Amino acid sequence: MSTTFETTLPEQAVQEKGETRATRIGKHIALFLVVIGAWECVSAFGWVDQLILPRPSAIAVSLVNLAFIQGNVWWHFGVTLYEALAGFVIGSAIGIALAIAAGLNESFRRYISPYIVAIQVTPRIALAPIVIAWLGFGIGPKIGIAALICFFPPFINTLTGLLNVDEDALEMFHSLGAKKSQIFWRLMLPNAMPIIMAGLKTAISLALIGAIVGEFISASEGMGVLMQRYTFSLNMASSFAVLVMLTVMGYILFVLTEAADNWLVFWRHDARMVALSKKKARNWRVD
């Protein structure tokens, strides 16, 4: 766990990585091209029906068409992204708030624990039609479904993180005469941050699933609607193009949470920790 303070180490590590990275990326691209090429051949020679598996070139053409020529796909893209993000924010906020209440209050924790188990074992996606029935057909119910599906990992991770406090650290705070609120803000919450962030990373991909399932059930806009529309009309190349765009959306969301993790839980990321240490040394003022 303990590493010696060595300012040159991280840069060296990055340099070493950079050398191998070029060759590694090259290998990845080569493998990707081989797979795509094989797929193209399989479809071109008619070994697999175009209606089952469209050719990569056809998917690429559809993608360009959707994204740049038709252009209206971006509206749907934005709708789904908005539903997923709003659902993520609401679901995570509720999950974290409930977990903090449960973490700080033992009797509250006891009362809700059977329901936690019930929620955990229920396939929450099954609630989606009920939510639609409640909230109607607009964007609202999709946000609700996304929130419902994604709230659990932030909840359980926050609770676990808050309860998993080092006994010795707690005793140290007590020996300093710390108040309960000081222990929460200065020890319990930061201590739980890494696992809370891990919960949020899971939640963001669940929120996207929730938004799309909501759109499948009933919607007039969003990537889920496009997906259904294209598959119903057997336009498989466009369906796959929509799938590729959803992959891109998922990746963007993932990168954003990774960046948030890097920023918030800096002490678990060596490069950022070293940078912050230097910055704090530069900015140190006693006033």
| Three state DSSP letters for 209-253 | HHHHHHHHHCCCCCHHHHHHHHHHCCCHHHHHHHHHHHHHHHHHH
Nearest CB to other proteins, comparing residues 5 and 47: 5
Nearest CB to other proteins, comparing residues 67 and 189: 189
| 287 contacts other proteins (rule: CB under 8 A) | yes
Question: Cα(161)–Cα(100) distance, rounded to whole angstroms?
Answer: 10
Task: Give least dist CB 155 to other proteins, A.
Answer: 23
| 190 contacts other proteins (rule: CB under 8 A) | yes
Single residue of 2, 20, 23, 181 touching other proteins by CB under 8 A? 2
Single residue of 22, 51, 126, 281 touching other proteins by CB under 8 A? 281
The site for other proteins, by CB under 8 A, has a size of 34
Task: Give least dist CB 188 to other proteins, A.
Answer: 11
Stretch that binds other proteins, among 72-80, 136-144, 149-157, 276-284 (CB under 8 A): 276-284
CB 57 within 8 A of CB 40: yes
Nearest CB to other proteins, comparing residues 69 and 176: 176
Among 202, 192, 173, 203, which Cα is nearest to 268's? Answer: 192
Give the Cβ contact number of residue 92 at 10 Å.
23
| 209 contacts other proteins (rule: CB under 8 A) | no
Question: Which DSSP letter does residue 50 get?
Answer: T
| 262 contacts other proteins (rule: CB under 8 A) | no
Residue 9, classified by CB atoms within 10 Å of its CB into exposed (0-12), middle (13-18) or buried (19+), is middle
Nearest CB to other proteins, comparing residues 66 and 187: 187
| 8 contacts other proteins (rule: CB under 8 A) | no
Report the C-alpha dihedral over residues 162, 163, 169, 174, rounded to 10 degrees: 100
Stretch that binds other proteins, among 1-9, 74-82, 117-125, 218-226 (CB under 8 A): 1-9
Single residue of 166, 234, 248, 258 touching other proteins by CB under 8 A? 166
Provide the strand spans (E) within the chain: none
Q: List Cβ neighbours of 10 (8 Å cut-off, separation of 6 or more).
A: 270, 271, 274
Distances from the Cα of 233 to the Cα of 6, 76, 77, 205, 286, angstroms: 61, 18, 20, 28, 69
Stretch that binds other proteins, among 15-23, 66-74, 119-127, 267-275 (CB under 8 A): 267-275
The contact set with other proteins (CB under 8 A) reads 1-5, 166, 168-169, 171-172, 174-179, 182, 186-187, 190, 193, 266-267, 270, 273-274, 276-278, 280-281, 284, 286-287
